[in-house]
Amino acid sequence: MPKALALGNGETLVCFDQFGQVRDLYFPYVGLENQCGGHLSHRIGVWVDGNLSWTNDGFWQVKIDTLHDTFAGKTVATNQGLGVELEIEDVVYNERNILLRQLKVRNLSDHSRLIKLFFAHEFELYESHTGDTGYFDPKTHALVHYKGRRVALINARAGDQEFDQFTVGVFGSKGKEGSFLDAIDGNLEKNAVEHGRVDSVIGFELTVAGTSDSQVDYWLALGRSIKEVTALNRYVVAKTPQHLRNTSKNFWKAWVNKQNFSFYGLDERTVRLFKESLFLIRSHVDNRGSILASGDSDMLHHGHDTYAYMWPRDGALIAVALDRAGYSSSAKQFFNFCNEVITNEGYFMHKYRPDRSLGSSWHPWIRDGKPELPIQEDETALVLIALWEHYSITKDVEFIEQLYNSLIMRAADFMVSFSYRETGLPYASYDLWEEKYGISTFTCSAVYGALMAAAKFAKLLGKNKSAALYESAALKMRDAIVKHLYDEDQGVFVKLLSMNGNSITYDRTLDISSFYGLYKFGVVEPNDPKLQRMLTAITKRLGALSRIGGFPRYEEDGYYRTASDAPPNPWFITTLWIAQYHLKNAKTPKEVEKAKEIISWVVDHALESGVLSEQLDPFTGEQLSAAPLTWSHAEFVVTIIDYLDKLEEMGVCKACNPVT
């Protein structure tokens, strides 16, 4: 199930489901070590008039949103049967690893009632379900879960009132479903310690007047030792949860508004999604440089793994969005990460864990009995393209000089060597979508763009011989793309070709990434008749497939397809690429409207909290696959900035985009 909300601070990432439950709790890296295991939950329940109900049991209407102009969640859960409403404000404190939750328990009846509020927690510290310990600490009046260097402390107050109920137990073993069942009669057993696969519950007894509410402040502190979380607990008590929430919200409000974009001609919903996208991107950026594809653990990629990795492809395109939106410090950390993990030979592997170790992969090291590199060459290329964007904005030549030998030259030399001398085309690798092996139009286009970037870097630093080498290789590749990958009969560039000796096989699947790579990286001018013909084919063959609109990746795409006879799912990314093309090619304000229509379509299909998934159901518009998907949000940010840049270029507004 796609996540409805994600909050983070660069070390902690918390994802909430559609019931307001914590479902992903990453610490101490964003995307590495899900202390909830990805399949567990932190429930919220209410007991009143002899009945207990958890927000996920089907009796609650739950609406999840964000607070305007800041990085905080707002959840309203209403149970008409119980006559109770919960209003929850969630913040991950920006300075320290603390989740703060303020709950207003509202009595919808006209008379005073005793209402009991319960918080239940399931942990798998170190993503392992053995060897945990949970206990009640009388000194801090808090619950503590620990294993080794992973510790969580849970506490809550209702004004000056400490929680008056607790229990610690085991779940998922010995026939025990979980300690949350202990709350069914409104009373917890107060078991003080347990080890193994441990869960816990705390509870409050609240007397709430008719049509009134009571407030509870809850916090979850994460650290590497009991001493550390105990200090965090003291910090919360001393500063007060209200103060920490307010200072955090003020920080994020200043952060998201620092560039003072004009947002000329854009409605409030679009502006809000732009800011929410920036927040969601930042929540997936680890302070040590990793940019996570998605923290949504419910989604299993190819049935074997999640998106909780740093793909150089995703990371590079997201870094561009960060740079263009004015957050170059985060992008700079990403390039430092890349500088650390690039191989001695000059290429990037498939994906990486946030601690800079190698991630899982399905790309083989041998093919048809012969060794092959298990890579997508576009990932190496996109990092150099993004780095040139970073330099163009920051003019940080000292940083470029630091990376030149170890990253730029190494990657460029690899790309020059990893190509056919006769044609200038690169050797085969896996395509952008990680599915097919061959020489794809997108990868060729990205390599062209990367070699041109490398030539600019070399020229910048006075390395004229290298500059000439890289530019010559790039121009040769550009000519080869047009010569070998354009299908004159269909009027499109093919998806990819495969070479076996002198034999060439073409995959003529219409793929939007081919179109995008050509105009984005400068292989073909936007107004070139070849691109115009290809856009016509895309509009005719891909743009009318879905009942809800939008564009899929390519013809007959089966990834997360809802049924065998259903059309391929539209993606936010590919749909926004079409908008970016319209903006790049627009000559009049009227032509800009084509892109605005797509922008409005994206806004209409976002969750109320601003979350954009990877894909959408072509019939219902339901979000599918990973959500939030950081790449989707990055493309939205880039599209909005492209729009503002175009208006400024046309003279419609004098300062649409203060970044430039």
In three-state secondary structure terms, 149 is: coil
Contact between 276 and 632 under an 8 Å Cβ cutoff? The reply is no
Q: How confident is the model at residue 1 (pLDDT cuts 50, 70, 90)?
A: low
In three-state secondary structure terms, 592 is: helix
As a whole number, the mean pLDDT across the chain is 95
pLDDT recorded at residue 653: 86
Q: How confident is the model at residue 303 (pLDDT cuts 50, 70, 90)?
A: low
Higher confidence at residue 22 or residue 299? Answer: 22
**What is the average per-residue pLDDT within 303-317?**
91
pLDDT recorded at residue 305: 84
| Beta-ladder partners of 634 | none
**What is the average per-residue pLDDT within 361-382?**
95
d(CA 121, CA 22): 9
pLDDT recorded at residue 654: 80
309: Cβ contacts below 8 Å, ≥ 6 apart: 31, 292, 293, 351, 352, 353, 354, 359, 360
Please state, in angstroms and as integers, the Cα–Cα distance from residue 345 to each residue in 408, 419, 437, 477, following that order: 12, 14, 21, 21
Say yes or no to pLDDT of 282 above 90.
Answer: yes
**What is the average per-residue pLDDT within 342-367?**
96
pLDDT recorded at residue 500: 82
Contact between 126 and 150 under an 8 Å Cβ cutoff? The reply is yes
pLDDT recorded at residue 177: 85
**What is the average per-residue pLDDT within 351-370?**
95
d(CA 446, CA 516): 10
- Each residue's pLDDT tens digit, 28-42: 999 999 999 778 999
Residue among 599, 593, 610 nearest 576 (CA): 599
Residue among 650, 657, 549, 641 nearest 277 (CA): 641
d(CA 452, CA 658): 27
Nearest 5°: the CA angle 558, 570, 265 is: 165
**What is the average per-residue pLDDT within 421-440?**
95
- Each residue's pLDDT tens digit, 558-578: 999 989 889 999 999 999 999
**What is the average per-residue pLDDT within 186-200?**
95
pLDDT recorded at residue 501: 78
Q: How confident is the model at residue 656 (pLDDT cuts 50, 70, 90)?
A: confident
Q: How confident is the model at residue 139 (pLDDT cuts 50, 70, 90)?
A: very high
- Each residue's pLDDT tens digit, 603-654: 999 999 999 999 999 999 999 999 999 999 999 999 999 999 999 999 998 8
Determine phi and psi for 94, rounding to 5 degrees: -70, -25
Say yes or no to pLDDT of 659 above 60.
Answer: no
**What is the average per-residue pLDDT within 238-258?**
97
Contact between 466 and 452 under an 8 Å Cβ cutoff? The reply is no
- E strands of 501-652, at which residues? 503-507, 615-616, 623-624
Q: How confident is the model at residue 174 (pLDDT cuts 50, 70, 90)?
A: confident
pLDDT recorded at residue 196: 92
Q: How confident is the model at residue 547 (pLDDT cuts 50, 70, 90)?
A: very high
- E strands of 93-141, at which residues? 98-107, 113-122, 132-137
**What is the average per-residue pLDDT within 527-556?**
94
d(CA 143, CA 424): 64
Which domains does the chain carry? 5-255 (2.70.98.10), 264-286+542-660 (no CATH)
**What is the average per-residue pLDDT within 507-530?**
97
- Each residue's pLDDT tens digit, 85-138: 999 999 999 999 999 999 999 999 999 999 999 999 999 999 998 899 999 999
